[in-house]
Chains A and B, each alone.
Chain A
Amino acid sequence: MTVEPIRTEVVVLGAGPGGYAAAFYAADRGKKVILVEQDKRLGGVCLNVGCIPSKALLHATALLREAKESEKRGIAFGAPVLELEKLRAWKESVLEKLGQGIRGLAQRRGVEVLQGRGYFEDSHTLRVETDRGQKFVHYDTAILAVGSKPALPSAFDLGNKRIMTSSEALDLEEVPDDLLVVGGGYIGMELGTVYATLGSKVVLVEAMGSILSGMDADLVRPVAQYAQAAFREVRLNTKVSKMSTSGKQIRVILETGGEKKEELYDRVLVSVGRVPNCANLGLENTKVARDDKGFVRVNEKQQTSDPSIYAIGDVAGGAMLAHKAAKEARVAVEVITGEESAFRGVVMPAVVFTDPEVAWCGLTETEAQARNIAVQVARFPWGASGRALTFDRPDGLTKLILEPETERILGVGIAGHGAGELISEGVLAVEMGATAKDLAETVHPHPTLSETLMECAESFYGTSTHIFSRKKPVKETPE
Chain B
Amino acid sequence: MDIRLPQLTEGADSGTVVNVLVQEGQKVKQGDTLLELENQKAVAPIPSTLTGTVTKIHVKQGQVLSVGQVLISVTEETGAAAPAESGAAPKAAPSAAAPASVLPAGPTSDFEYQSASGAPPPASPAIRKMALELGIDLRKVRGSERGGRITTADVKAYLAQLQQRAAGSKTPAAEKIPFEKWGPVTRKPISPLRKAIAQAMVRSWTTIPHVTQFDEADVTALLKQIEKHAPAYEKDGSRLTLTTVLIRALVPVLEKYPVFNSSWDEAAGEAVFKQTIHMGVAVDTEAGLIVPVLRNVEKKTLLELGRELPALVEKTRQRKLGSEELQGGSFTISNQGGIGGRHFTPIIHAPEVAILGVGRAAKGLLPLALSYDHRAIDGADAARFITALVERLQAFPDQEIRR
* Residues of A near any B CB (own CB < 8 A): 287, 289-293, 295, 297-300, 303, 305, 307, 316-319, 321, 324, 339-348, 350, 362-363, 368, 371, 373-375, 403-408, 410, 431-435, 437-438
Chain B residue contacts of A291, Cβ below 8 A: 82, 86
Stretch at the interface among B116-124, B176-184, B276-284, B369-377: B116-124
* Chain B residues, CB < 8 A from A437: 146-147
Is B128 a contact partner of A345 (Cβ separation < 8 A)?
Answer: yes
Q: Would you call B2 and A307 a contact (CB within 8 A)? A: yes
Across the interface, name the chain A residue whose C-beta is closest to B118. A373
Chain A residues with CB under 8 Å of B121's CB are 433
Instruction: Return the contact of A433 from the options B117, B129, B149 (Cβ within 8 A).
Output: B149
Given contacts A291-B82, A295-B86, A403-B117, contact A342 B132 (CB under 8 A): yes
Measured in the bound complex, the distance between the Cα atoms of B241 and A381 in whole Å is 84
Residues of B within 8 A of A405 (CB): 115-116
Given known pairs A316-B86, A344-B94, the reply for A410 and B75 (CB within 8 Å) is: no
CA distance A321 to B90 in the complex (A): 12
Contact of A297 among B84, B116, B143 (CB under 8 A): B84
Partner of A406, one of B73, B78, B125, B148: B148
Q: How far is the CA of A344 from the CA of B75 in the complex (A)?
A: 23
Closest to B122 in A: A433
Interface string of B79-95 (1 = CB under 8 A from A): 10011111111111011
Q: Which residues of B contact A (CB under 8 A)?
A: 1-2, 73, 75-76, 78-79, 82-92, 94-95, 115-125, 128-129, 132-133, 135, 143, 146-150
Distance to closest chain B CB from A231 (angstroms):
28
A-chain residues with CB within 8 Å of residue B86 when the two chains form the complex: 291, 293, 295, 297, 316-318
- Among the listed B76, B85, B124, B132, which residue makes an inter-chain contact with A340, where contact means beta carbons less than 8 Å apart? B132
Instruction: Say what secondary structure dominates the interface of chain A.
Output: loop
Contact at B124–A317, with CB atoms within 8 Å?
no
- Write 30 A-B pairs (CB below 8 A) sorted by A numbering: A289-B76, A289-B78, A297-B76, A297-B82, A297-B83, A303-B1, A305-B75, A307-B73, A318-B85, A324-B89, A340-B133, A340-B135, A341-B129, A343-B91, A350-B89, A362-B90, A363-B119, A403-B116, A405-B115, A406-B115, A406-B148, A410-B117, A432-B122, A432-B124, A433-B122, A434-B147, A435-B147, A435-B149, A437-B146, A437-B147
Select one of A300, A339, A345, A408 contacting B84, CB under 8 A.
A300
**Which B residues are in CB contact (< 8 Å) with A298?**
83-84
B337 to chain A, nearest CB (A): 45
Point out the residues of chain A lying under 8 angstroms from B146, CB to CB.
435, 437-438
Residues of A within 8 A of B75 (CB): 287, 305
A339 surroundings in chain B (CB, below 8 A): 133
> Across the interface, do B1 and A374 meet the contact criterion of CB distance under 8 Å?
no
What distance in Å separates the Cβ of A309 from its nearest Cβ neighbour in chain B?
A: 11
Complex CA–CA separation, A375 to B116 (angstroms): 9
Contact of B83 among A299, A368, A375 (CB under 8 A): A299
By beta carbon, the residue of chain B nearest A316 is B86
Instruction: List 19 extra interface pairs beyond A299-B83, A433-B121, A435-B146, CB under 8 A.
Output: A289-B76, A291-B82, A291-B86, A297-B83, A305-B76, A305-B83, A318-B89, A340-B132, A344-B92, A373-B118, A403-B119, A406-B148, A407-B147, A408-B122, A433-B124, A433-B149, A437-B147, A438-B146, A438-B147
Name the residue of chain A whose CB is nearest to the CB of B147. Answer: A435
- Per the bound structure, the CA–CA distance linking A305 and B87 in Å amounts to 18
List A contacts of B123 (CB < 8 A). 433
Q: CA of A404 to CA of B115 in the docked complex: distance in angstroms? A: 10
* Contact status A363-B117, CB under 8 Å: yes
- Known A-B contacts A299-B1, A324-B89, A343-B91; A432 and B149 likewise in contact (beta carbons under 8 Å): yes
Q: Check A404–B116 contact: CB distance below 8 A.
A: yes
Q: Which residues of A contact B85 (CB under 8 A)?
A: 318
Which residues of chain A have C-beta atoms less than 8 A from B128's C-beta? 345
Instruction: Determine if A408 and B90 form an interchain contact, defined as CB atoms under 8 angstroms apart.
Output: no
Residue of A nearest to B115 (CB): A403
**Is there contact, CB below 8 Å, between A374 and B117?**
yes
Q: Complex formed: what's the CA distance from A299 to B1 in Å?
A: 9
CA distance A433 to B154 in the complex (A): 14
A164 CA to B128 CA in the complex, in Å?
Answer: 44
B95 touches A344 (CB 8 A): yes
Bound: A348/B123 CA distance, A: 16
| B117: A residues at CB distance < 8 A | 363, 368, 373-375, 403, 410
CA distance in complex: A89, B146 (Å): 53
Closest to A401 in B: B117
Contacting residue for B91 out of A290, A300, A371, CB 8 A: A300
Give the CA-CA distance A409 to B78 in the complex, in Å.
Answer: 38
Chain B's nearest CB lies how many Å from the CB of A237?
A: 24
Minimum C-beta distance from A142 to chain B (A): 16
User: Bound state CA distance, A316 and B87, in angstroms?
Assistant: 10
Contacts of A345 in B (CB 8 A): 90-92, 94, 120, 128
Chain A residues in 8 Å Cβ range of B95: 299-300, 342, 344
Q: How far, in whole Å, are A343 and B132 apart by their CA atoms in the complex?
A: 11
Query: With a CB–CB cut-off of 8 A, which chain B residues contact A403?
Result: 115-117, 119
Complex Cα–Cα for A363 and B132 (A): 23
Is A431's CB under 8 angstroms from B132's CB? Answer: no
Q: B90–A307 contact, CB under 8 A?
A: no
CB distance from A102 to the nearest CB of B (A): 25
> For residue A438, which residues in chain B have a CB less than 8 angstroms away from its CB?
146-147
Per a CB cutoff under 8 Å, which of B78, B90, B118 touches A346? B90
A434–B122 Cα distance when bound, in Å, is 8
Q: Min CB distance, A299 to chain B, in Å?
A: 4
Q: Are A348 and B148 in contact (CB under 8 A)?
A: no
Q: Which of A290, A305, A350 has the most CB of B within 10 A?
A: A305
| Cα distance A348–B129 in the bound complex, in angstroms | 17
- Do A318 and B87 touch across chains, with their CB atoms under 8 A apart? yes
Shortest beta-carbon distance from A407 to chain B in Å: 6
Determine the residue in chain B with the shortest Cβ distance to A298. B84
Which of chain A's residues have a CB closer than 8 A to the CB of B118? 371, 373
Shortest distance between the CB of A378 and any CB in chain B (Å): 15
- 5 smallest CB-CB distances across A and B, nearest first, come from A433-B122, A317-B86, A319-B89, A435-B147, A299-B83
Q: How far is the CB of B9 from chain A (nearest CB, A)?
A: 19
* Contact flag A348-B89 (CB < 8 Å), given A287-B75, A433-B124, A435-B146: yes
Q: Is the CB of A317 within 8 A of B87?
A: yes
CA distance A375 to B143 in the complex (A): 21
Determine how close the nearest CB of chain B comes to the CB of A69; give it in whole angstroms.
35
Which residues of chain B have C-beta atoms less than 8 A from A319's C-beta? 89
Cβ contacts under 8 Å, B129 to chain A: 341
CB distance from A334 to the nearest CB of B (A): 9
Whole-angstrom distance between the alpha carbons of A292 and B78 in the complex?
A: 9
**B residues within 8 A CB of A307?**
1-2, 73
B147 touches A408 (CB 8 A): yes
